[in-house]
Every structure is written in C-alpha cells, then in structure tokens.
Amino acid sequence: MEPLSRSPGRAAWLLSCLALLSLHGCPGAGAQASRGFELHQPQDKVSVTAGETLNLTCTVSGEGPAGAVKWLKGWGSGNETIYEQKGSFPRVTRVANGSDMDFNIRISDVRPEDAGTYYCVKFRKSGISDEAVFQQGKGTVVSVHAKPSAPVVSGPDGRAGPGQSVSFTCTAGGFSPEDIAVQWLKDGIPIRAQQPQITSGQTKFSYDMSSTVTVRLQEDDIRSQLACEVRHLTLPAPLRGTYELGKALRVAPKVRVVAAPPNPVEVNKTVTFTCRVEGFYPGDVAVAWLENGTEMKVVNTSRLENTSRGLFRVRSLVEVRATEEKNGSVFTCQVMHDAQGPVVEKAVLQIAAPAREGLSDRSQPDNEKLSLIYTVVGVVCTVLILLVAATFYLIRAKQSKGKSSPSARLHEPEKSSEATTQESDPNNLTYADLNFDRERKTIRRMAEMSQQSEYASIQSSQAPANDENLTYADLDMVHLSKAPRRPAPCPEEASSEYASVQISRK
C-alpha cells in the first residue's frame, strides 16, 4: 500500500524527532510504543449487492496519541474520506457513536461506484495544525455486485415482408461484475445469436451489454414472439425482454375484382363490382374505385375482419348501371396498404347486343330456355319420322306378303261392243280377280258356309283325283254369267293362273 502523502512540515518534524532520539528520545514515539496502541481491521474482502448496506469493521486497543480515527477509500493522493467525526456523510453512519474503541461504520444503498479498498487510519496531532498518520489498517477490498437492468429488445425502424431478414437488439446495463450470459428464443425455441458486447457503464465499476440476432421473417410470424434472456450472478432467475414480431412484419394484400352478373350483361342491367382485399397485415388499408381513371364515390365498404391466422380482409362494392355508353369501361380497385405503393386490379364492363324493339326483358326467353325448346322439338320430330318410316315399312311388308300368296286370277277377254253394252248388268260379269291364301276345304267345311254364297271349283287341265285336292274360293255376292266357256285372253300374263269356273248347284 502507498502511505498517505506528507507535507514538508511533517518531514521536518520527523527529522527533529530523530535528532532528539539520538540525545533524549522522541516523546511521542516513545509514549506510543510504551502504551501498546493497536488498530485492528480484520476484513480482507467484502462483497455486497448494489442497494444493500455495507458493514466495515475497525477497532483500536491501548492508548494512542491524540488524534482522530478516519475511514479512507483508496490510498495516496487520490484517497477519499468516507467517514470522520466531523463533517456530514449522508449514507455513512457509525455503529457505536462516541466510542473510543469501536469505529465500525455502515454504508447504506451501496452503488457500483462504492467498490474499492477501504482503510481505517489513526491520526495524531502534531505541533502544527496538520495531522499525521499514526497507524493504519491493512485495508478491506469491497466489491459491489450490481444487478443488470431489465433487458430491452428493439427492432427495425420499418416493416419488412415475408422472406426478408431483420436484426433485433437486446440491451441491459448497470451490472457488476462484467460476466453476463444472453440467450435468444423464438416462441420458446432457442436460436443462434452473436456474442454479446460488454462495455463500461456510467461508472468504471459498472458495465453495459448489447446483443444482436438476425431473424428471417415468415408470414406466420404475425403472432410470434422474440425473447432475450439475461443471466447474471446477482439474479436468482433470468431477466427477460420480449418483442412481438408482428410489429416488424408486413404482408401485402391480395386483390381480386368480381362482377355480378358476369360479362356480358344486358343493357340497363345493374352490375355489382366487388373488390376483395384479403390476407394482409397490418390492418391499415384504404380502398378506392376508379372508372376509366376517374375516382368514384364509394361508401359501401365492409368492416375490417381478422382471420384465424391473424391476417385481415375487407370488401368494397360499387354498383354500375350498364348503359350503352359504358360499354368497354374499365373499373379499377386501388388498394393502399401501410403507406406502400398502390395495389390495383381491373375489370371491364361488356354489354350484350340490345333486345329487339317491342319485347320486354321478361318476354324474351334466355338462351338456356331456347336451347331446351329446340332440343325437345328436335326429339319429337325425330320420333315422328321414325314412326312414319315404320308405318311405310309395315305397309310394304304386308303388300309383299299378299303378292307372294297363291292366287287365281280370272281375266275377261277383250271386250267387244256387245260386251260393253252388257257391263251395266252385274249378272253378266264373267271374270273376277281372286287373290286369296291357300286353303284346303272339305265338303263338310263347304256345307258350313253361308247359304247366300255361290261356290265355284277351280280345276286344272287334269281332273282332280278326289275332293281333297280341290281348291275353293268363296265368292260372296259375286254373280257369274252362265255364258259358254271362252278362251283365255292373249297374251297371257306370266303371273296369272287361268281356270274355268264351273257352277255346281247345291
């Protein structure tokens, strides 16, 4: 330790004392040695937490020279008086006030700057007004442990979009000693960060800390939390500072314009254009409509809605009457979000051909109804055509079947003038066409016929063997003339069979 500085007067007094000792001895020194004065400062090191009370111990024994006992911080020219009987020391009090043996003191509300080495010193008065150091303690080293302040996490000045990397800073100060640990967490999960930077604080006995971490933002970070935890030997548990990542995040809106009814629309119909602004954050948004570049007055905007993911959405509607003058007009939805550039989406109004004059909108069937009617008519016509074709086919088939049946045809010869005069009499008819199906009739069957019928047998050139081979034809209400047999007409038809008709009486 360095001794306290001495003035030139003190040095002269010591030299004088040495000279007297060589002759008679120095009275003060001899008295001190003979009376056994001792000063005790037992504490080597003391640790205290800032804000608490520091207790320093100093006692004396034996008789010493006249002079005060003081507490000094530091030694040499830079020492500082902490306590003495005279003067005012607001934070320092003596434990046993007025005692000549106990010089213990208390320092309340300890601060980091209170750290240092404290000495208990016994002074003696000299013949001069100054005091000289008579005896000093070995010194007590005091270390002050200061708790760090609550950490503060700061983010960027502006917002960033998803996918961008943003830096965050955690600061704490006023702690001592300088050893400190910092950990970053995102939603409770540790993330890697840079080593903290330790610098001197407001005093040379305190320190400040700064730590930085870089985070890549995501769209789902709207409700995420970033935390900075600080650990220090003065803390029973870590101190934590937090930051809501949503304050640094911006999600641009998605804009879509929908027209109802869809294009093209009829003249004088009312069209509603809906601008759907979805999936944006924060909720600071403004929607405007423009018709061909000119702003429109719009009051129909829905309230801001918050989705389960924390994003926002809003809708804005504008109604337009589809006049012919507005055909091809461009309607633009312009969205301003979080003081950023506008996001626009456009829709074009297309008007269909005007309706025919004299027909109201309700009297004109729409395209779908007309298409249905045309389809039904086509199906009905097709069915009718098929029915007619089937009918003709059946008729032709029936006729073909009749022609293929065995028949006997009686042709009358070329008519003379006499015959012509007799045509008016039905009894004079000689020939008749007999088309009939093949059927064999027995005599019994012939008897069952109507009594009003005339029967005639048709025989070939050879006489039939029996009655079973005869082919009969019923000649109902046909009168055959009884004229002599006439030859068949010439030329004969290839498809005709000729036979003479003989009348047999029942």
Task: For residues 229 and 276, state if they share a domain.
Answer: no
Three-state SS for 129-162 is CCEEEEEECCCEEEEEEECCCCCEEECCCCCECC
Which domain CATH number covers 165? Answer: 2.60.40.10
Domain final residue, candidates 313, 329, 348: 348
Task: For residues 124 and 26, state if they share a domain.
Answer: yes
Does residue 370 sit within a domain?
no
Task: For residues 87 and 19, state if they share a domain.
Answer: yes
Task: For residues 158 and 130, state if they share a domain.
Answer: no
What is this structure's pTM? 0.56
Angle at 406 between CA 401 and CA 410, to 5 degrees: 120
Task: For residues 203 and 296, state if they share a domain.
Answer: no
36: region left, alpha or beta (phi > 0 left; psi from -120 to 50 alpha): left
Task: For residues 21 and 82, state if they share a domain.
Answer: yes
- Which residue's entry shows tokens 């005639």? 456
Amino acid of residue 479: H
- Please tell me the distance from the alpha carbon of residue 371 to that of residue 349, in angstroms, as a whole number: 26
Q: How many domains does the chain have?
A: 4
Amino acid of residue 439: E
Task: For residues 31 and 84, state if they share a domain.
Answer: yes
230 token code pair: 């600080």
Task: For residues 127 and 162, state if they share a domain.
Answer: no
Task: For residues 41 and 131, state if they share a domain.
Answer: yes
Does residue 459 sit within a domain?
yes
Does residue 304 sit within a domain?
yes
Does residue 478 sit within a domain?
yes
Task: For residues 167 and 127, state if they share a domain.
Answer: no
- The pLDDT score that the predictor gives to residue 311 is 95
The dihedral built from the CA positions of residue 313, 319, 320 and 322, taken in this order, carries a sign that is positive
Reported for 442-450, long-range contacts at CB under 8 A and 24+ positions apart, including other chains, are 442/467, 442/468, 443/467, 446/472, 449/474, 450/476
Domain final residue, candidates 299, 318, 348: 348
**Total residue count of the chain as it appears in this document:** 506
- 3-class state of residue 83 by DSSP: strand
C-beta atoms surrounding 491 within 10 Å: 6
Task: For residues 67 and 133, state if they share a domain.
Answer: yes
Give per-10-residue mean pLDDT for the chain (506 aa).
39 38 37 68 93 94 88 89 88 89 94 92 79 91 93 96 96 92 96 93 87 96 96 94 96 96 93 95 94 88 90 95 94 94 95 59 57 86 89 83 48 44 45 47 48 44 47 46 52 48 48
- The pLDDT score that the predictor gives to residue 487 is 57
C-beta atoms surrounding 440 within 10 Å: 11
Amino acid of residue 100: D
Does residue 39 sit within a domain?
yes
Domain final residue, candidates 223, 248, 273: 248
Q: What is the dihedral of CA 480, 483, 489, 492, to 10 degrees?
A: 50
Does residue 270 sit within a domain?
yes
Does residue 382 sit within a domain?
no
Q: Which domain holds residue 440?
A: 407-503
Task: For residues 196 and 136, state if they share a domain.
Answer: no
Does residue 48 sit within a domain?
yes
- The pLDDT score that the predictor gives to residue 420 is 42
- The pLDDT score that the predictor gives to residue 322 is 93
